[in-house]
Structure 1
Amino acid sequence: MLYQIAKPFLFKMDPEAAHHLIVDGMGAAAKIPGMSSVLSAAWGTKASPELAVDLFGLHFNHPVGLAAGLDKNAKAVAGLSRVGLSFMEVGTVTPKAQAGNEQPRLFRLPPDEALINRMGFNNDGADTMAERLSKLPKRRIPLAVNIGKNKMTPNENAADDYRACVRKLFPYGDFFVVNISSPNTPDLRALQHGDELRHLLDAVKDEMEKQAELHGELSKPILVKIAPDNTEEQLFYMAEAIQLSGMSGIIATNTTISRDGLTHKSAGETGGLSGRPLTQRSTEIIRNLYRITQGKLPIIGSGGIFTADDAYDKIRAGASLVEVYTAMIYKGPGLLKEIHGGLIKRLKKDGFTRITQAVGADHR
């Protein structure tokens, strides 16, 4: 109800201005004494043993987290961790700060329940993110750091950028996500294939192991975020390279460059499309990846999750965890309680006692 009151005002604002207002507001709210409890009371979800997931050596109270892109600079971690999420990603962060693409670069498509963005990895840089995360109190939920390369870094030197992000942010992330699938950084998606992919992932893995030894800790999980615009053959070779490189899992998927079925006047804008139009395609990618990897490589499902059914479909297709983003813009944090309760109902209907039993159920 709180968000539905605010939504008409937010949707009259420029989309990027509204984005910053929400993120900065959540960051400021968490610093007010007692406000964290208010956020938890308004939007928090209760721990439900049947929805708990233990994965990557981490505990998740339920399967639903926040995708990268909302809190690019780790400004609102304390506030967002109180609204019912079980984990969240920050970033994409690059070694050096960069402004991203020219504005306007974020567009709402309300009839399609979608967003188009061509932000271009705008962020404050890895050093600033490290400083912010170092000042946070103990986190309530696992935090993933989504890492990328600077726009001016050529692909042949991309591994150096990803290494730099791991080096600077190792102490602060519970797991890391290698973003090679944004359509808004020139040639980035070329890193998803062939020798470039293997070289990059080997470099990230090597840096992670070096940092783990340096800090006297275990190596942290690394996942790879892929695009939905890949053929089944491309998926096969990508999954093979990701497994051989010792990665911990895959996030499927990032935004799409497809514009099928859109009705809004902004449909022709350049950038990555997220939201409802991606629901079916991302679930299909998850199903194919689970089959290709025989369920041996954990998948986080992302793309067009607006309801408990959407989340459950991805879980049955093979996702161990799922992420939301665009639906949070259209429906607000109350979405998390809705999905939480809906998943419990669907488990009972299917005769499962734990959400982990439903992972990949469509394949059995």
Structure 2
Amino acid sequence: MSGIESLGLKIFHRLDPETAHGLALSGLRMGLVPLPGPVTGARLATTLAGLALPNPVGLAAGFDKNAVALPALMRAGFGFLEVGAATPRPQDGNPRPRLWRLTEDRAVINRFGFNNAGVDPIAARLAARPRGIPVGLNLGANKDSVDRAADFATVLAHAGATIDFATVNVSSPNTEKLRDLQGKAALAALLAGVMTARAGLARPIPVFLKIAPDLSPAELEDVAEVALDARLDGIIATNTTLSREGLKSVNSAQPGGLSGAPLFEKSTRVLAQLSRLTAGKLPLVGVGGISSAEEAYEKIRAGATAVQLYSAMVYRGLSLAADVARGLEALCARDGFAHVSEAVGTGRDRWL
């Protein structure tokens, strides 16, 4: 992290978290943030569900909900980006405050509630983005929808031509009863609608499923079975958690989803279980608590083809993406892997 970035983070941490987040996006749009450009190499360039990635380090959904800073983010060292979540209609989300820093725990709690501008303006920005790394859209549902399951297919139908992949997000804890859609029958029906919408696109794209870290072993088995039956292209493990175990920060009891360092172990164990259950038939994306190359490497060795990060940037800055990618290259070289894909799953058993 540069001195300028460190100073910027100190200033941001004096502000309300959501205000600071908005200013960070404005700084990116205005070109005020130094960016490293592409980070790649013979060990790093990889393929995820047919997508060619310069490196396996992605930006998780939620940082750029409305796809307003894509040109800058595409030069920030990530191998791929995910924006959104987008819902069919614009949505304000939950009342503020709805974002808290848990500095002592290196964590974040959010209860945004799918606040976004709606799929149409988001799709327009996605269509206008420059060429470069793959960009996907997190699909969401309006909280007042009469058919939330249908909303996911609606968003994909509207935005599918403008994106490289889509993620079905039924795992956010901030829309009431949304996680109920992770049940076996409900999830199978929802995914059938999404896959029908994908079949209607002129250019079919990979579809991923993002799951919660709080599922029981039996529920994970159901998710794996449904994902394989639906012919999904991958699973993202995991979203935020409702657990508050072991937290020290003053705002730790706030409602919403917890992300950051305390999520690392829980999400990695879920990832390893999914790797075992899917037996290499589906690529997995590991997300949750990554703040270093070593932690990203653990996700990969637990079974992830690629990883995503977000919350750690609150404490480590945007330069974290490039640092993690370069660190992964060094770790693979240290362990004798000619390519990062050779490391996938090699340490899974220690997380089971």
- Mark yes or no: TM-score above 0.5: yes
Cα drift, residue 347 of structure 1:
1.0
Amino acid across the alignment from 2:190 = L
Question: For residue 167 of structure 2, what is the aligned residue in structure 1?
Answer: 177
Cα drift, residue 261 of structure 1:
0.8
Question: For residue 302 of structure 2, what is the aligned residue in structure 1?
Answer: 317
Match of 1:106 among 99, 116, 135: 99
The verdict on how the C-alpha distance between 1:46 and 1:130 changes in structure 2, with shifts beyond 3 A counting, is closer
CA distance in 2, matches of 1:135, 1:339: 28
CA distance in 1, matches of 2:96, 2:149: 29
CA distance in 1, matches of 2:324, 2:104: 22
Amino acid across the alignment from 1:143 = V
Aligned length: 347
Q: What is the identity percentage for the equivalent residue pairs of Structure 1 and Structure 2?
A: 43
Amino acid across the alignment from 2:323 = E
CA distance in 1, matches of 2:44, 2:16: 37
CA distance in 1, matches of 2:99, 2:285: 25
Amino acid across the alignment from 1:144 = G
Conserved in 2, the CA contact under 8 Å of 1:98 and 1:124? yes
- Equivalent residue runs for 1:184-203 within 5 Å: 184-203=174-193
- Structure 1: gaps of 5 or more residues: 30-34
Instruction: Show CA shifts across 1:69-128 (max 9, x none).
Output: 000000011111111011010000100001000000000001100000000000000011
Cα drift, residue 5 of structure 1:
1.4
Conserved in 2, the CA contact under 8 Å of 1:39 and 1:79? no
The verdict on how the C-alpha distance between 1:61 and 1:137 changes in structure 2, with shifts beyond 3 A counting, is closer
CA distance in 2, matches of 1:312, 1:134: 33
CA distance in 2, matches of 1:224, 1:303: 15
CA distance in 1, matches of 2:229, 2:259: 30
Does 1:117 pair with 2:119? Answer: no
Match of 2:224 among 229, 232, 239: 239
Conserved in 2, the CA contact under 8 Å of 1:295 and 1:360? no
Instruction: Show CA shifts across 1:300-330 (max 9, x none).
Output: 0000001111000000000000001011111
CA distance in 2, matches of 1:20, 1:61: 28
Does 1:291 pair with 2:253? Answer: no
Cα drift, residue 45 of structure 1:
4.7
CA distance in 2, matches of 1:46, 1:125: 32
Q: Secondary structure at the match of 1:176?
A: strand
Instruction: Show CA shifts across 1:263-319 (max 9, x none).
Output: 001000000000000011111011000001112111000000011110000000000
CA distance in 1, matches of 2:96, 2:85: 18
Conserved in 2, the CA contact under 8 Å of 1:181 and 1:189? yes
Amino acid across the alignment from 2:279 = Q
Cα drift, residue 185 of structure 1:
0.3
Q: Secondary structure at the match of 2:304?
A: coil
Question: For residue 66 of structure 1, what is the aligned residue in structure 2?
Answer: 59
Computed over aligned residues only, the root mean square deviation of the Cα atoms, in angstroms, reads 1.3
Amino acid across the alignment from 1:147 = L
Conserved in 1, the CA contact under 8 Å of 2:172 and 2:178? yes
Question: For residue 32 of structure 1, what is the aligned residue in structure 2?
Answer: none
CA distance in 2, matches of 1:136, 1:343: 28
CA distance in 1, matches of 2:159, 2:34: 27
The verdict on how the C-alpha distance between 1:363 and 1:281 changes in structure 2, with shifts beyond 3 A counting, is closer
CA distance in 2, matches of 1:137, 1:319: 28
Q: Secondary structure at the match of 1:150?
A: coil
Question: For residue 21 of structure 2, what is the aligned residue in structure 1?
Answer: 19
Match of 2:50 among 44, 49, 57: 57
CA distance in 2, matches of 1:86, 1:128: 24
More helix by share: 1
CA distance in 2, matches of 1:28, 1:128: 20
Conserved in 1, the CA contact under 8 Å of 2:39 and 2:55? no
The verdict on how the C-alpha distance between 1:7 and 1:363 changes in structure 2, with shifts beyond 3 A counting, is closer
Cα drift, residue 158 of structure 1:
1.8
Please, which moves more after superposition, 314-323 or 326-335? 326-335
Cα drift, residue 136 of structure 1:
2.4
TM-score, normalisation: structure 1? 0.93
The verdict on how the C-alpha distance between 1:363 and 1:260 changes in structure 2, with shifts beyond 3 A counting, is closer
Q: Secondary structure at the match of 1:195?
A: helix
Cα drift, residue 357 of structure 1:
0.3
Cα drift, residue 210 of structure 1:
1.0
Question: For residue 141 of structure 1, what is the aligned residue in structure 2?
Answer: 133
Question: For residue 205 of structure 1, what is the aligned residue in structure 2?
Answer: 195
Conserved in 1, the CA contact under 8 Å of 2:48 and 2:306? no
Amino acid across the alignment from 1:114 = A
The verdict on how the C-alpha distance between 1:111 and 1:363 changes in structure 2, with shifts beyond 3 A counting, is closer
Question: For residue 76 of structure 1, what is the aligned residue in structure 2?
Answer: 69
Cα drift, residue 134 of structure 1:
2.4
Conserved in 1, the CA contact under 8 Å of 2:39 and 2:326? no
Cα drift, residue 141 of structure 1:
0.8
